[in-house]
Structure 1
């Protein structure tokens, strides 16, 4: 058998070149990235909590029907110094016991103020010591997010408290089918690593402002994580804190944000750069009864421009079920795009 010989030559001043050095400007970029993440963790971390839940029920076994208790864990974020906490609806739904563990290790019993499964949002209330002001997180503006923007997730994956991960905004305006089977619209997609237990924790921008509430991951996939936009959460939370529930007039559609070509905007004299495209019409619902179709573009409601799903939600939240909403719709009919006005008698959004 032929024998092969190899000679290993060590690099020195006379053989080869020196080890490549990282350029100083690249080091400064890495340091700036690390500094941004560290500052966010230090600023927002104290306001992030662990949410523990107990579900009680009865199960059929070989010994008959027996009671059981099941424990779960999620995350949350304090939004008011007197003890209001935002988390996901699916974390606390039908829980018989809810506890909140603060970043300093203190555990408190929490009361459910209200929940909205449609946006997977819930509000809890804890009672701090008299005159104590709890640390709070600043709420940002999710409408200002851009794809590629740095975001940081803080939560309690698998019970590991105060875990920080970082990534970017991968996409905006996604639709995600929630735990109740309904579509949650306008979702933020990110590759910041999320795991079970992160649900309900904050997604934060590089300035430490909460831009979303983490809600879901796609199992067996990498880098596909989702958060509810904070602008959606804010108006839901306001109603939950005031009324304990969200009462909506609804249309019976699912939609997504759709940019409008400049030619279309000029043709129909539209001021909004985008509209809401209908991607699903609920059978027998208000929209179906009014004749709305998949593919229709909603550009206005009661003469108010509609740019995004959030615009539509916010307007419908001000209507009472049964009120008539006049929609301005762009519809392609016979190859020609036409503008129509369609009156829809709204209905009550089922819980």
Structure 2
């Protein structure tokens, strides 16, 4: 019994450290009636906090309730639907906060705690393990997917969204984002390393920068005859349906009907592969893409632009 009591005290100590930094968030929405409710976690002493984009996107006002009962207005510093993350700034300083940990250090079976306000029940704590790593989730309205998602059996319910998933040391290893209903024990959190990247991008640029190629595309199976004629082993690729005038793709000579099978020296077999290629590192960087066109294999140079400044 003593080891079990010690374990219980250790869990309680982690909660004592983390809970003061967890917020109950209410967002007044512009285009839909009512108030959206969720959670958030303060990650810096000057009042910066992380939550989910789907909690605050489109809000005209955001109110955060601290663990001590105080209510503080919060500004939306930046919102990234592609990762379902948003950064808030509370109008106060010297607030309790917790550190973002390294989600790459997680292992399946590690103990984790989920904190938040499920169904409006403030300061609720649930416990579970890391059930799986490297999951993907749809990234909202963007068509991208969120990669590296942490799956947990720690109960997550509506209202937990935006709250922290913490490890046994009290470090934030994920931002709770979704649960699958009516299934039980299927919760998902955006990994903390993604949150660290999004936070740094938003604080530096006000947004998360991504590259833009200027195509609409569709995943296809590459016909065996075409693959043999072009001398490639690819069985899947991304077919180009449209090319935007004046886009990087147009400047590179990419045409509708081309099949993209490689980019930046890596194979492209899916839209996900294409999105991975179009990260912030690709902005303004000349690289090559491999195409199949009329039974020929081609390599063309392309220089993606930053999304949003690409017109």
CA–CA distance in structure 2, aligned partners of residues 150 and 88 of structure 1: 23
Instruction: Give the CA deviation at 1:31.
Output: 2.9
- Structure-2-length-normalised TM-score: 0.75
Q: For the pair shown, which has the larger CA radius of gyration, 1 or 2?
A: 1
CA–CA distance in structure 1, aligned partners of residues 44 and 147 of structure 2: 26
| Alignment match, 1:333 | none
Aligned with 2:55 (options 78, 91, 116): 91
Q: Does structure 2 conserve the Cα–Cα contact (< 8 Å) formed by 1:37 and 1:166?
A: no
CA–CA distance in structure 1, aligned partners of residues 302 and 10 of structure 2: 48
Instruction: Give the CA deviation at 1:39.
Output: 1.7
Aligned with 2:168 (options 203, 206, 210): 206
Gaps of 5+ in 1: 1-26, 58-67, 255-277, 302-308, 329-339
Q: What SS does the aligned partner of 1:37 have?
A: helix
Is residue 2:36 matched to residue 1:72? yes
Gaps of 5+ in 2: 219-234, 244-248, 268-272, 291-297
Is residue 2:307 matched to residue 1:346? no
CA–CA distance in structure 1, aligned partners of residues 131 and 300 of structure 2: 35
Q: Does structure 1 conserve the Cα–Cα contact (< 8 Å) formed by 2:64 and 2:71?
A: yes
CA–CA distance in structure 2, aligned partners of residues 139 and 92 of structure 1: 21
Is residue 2:15 matched to residue 1:41? yes
| Alignment match, 2:84 | 120
| Alignment match, 1:325 | 287
How many matched pairs? 270
1:231-246 maps to which residues of 2 (within 5 A)? 231-246=193-208
- Structure-1-length-normalised TM-score: 0.67
Instruction: Give the CA deviation at 1:250.
Output: 5.0
Instruction: Give the CA deviation at 1:69.
Output: 3.4
Aligned with 1:156 (options 117, 140, 161): 117
Q: What SS does the aligned partner of 1:72 have?
A: strand
Instruction: Give the CA deviation at 1:49.
Output: 0.5
1:1-351 maps to which residues of 2 (within 5 A)? 27-57=1-31, 69-128=33-92, 132-180=93-141, 181-249=143-211, 281=238, 283-284=240-241, 291-293=259-261, 316-320=279-283, 322-326=284-288, 345-349=303-307
Q: Does structure 2 conserve the Cα–Cα contact (< 8 Å) formed by 1:56 and 1:70?
A: no
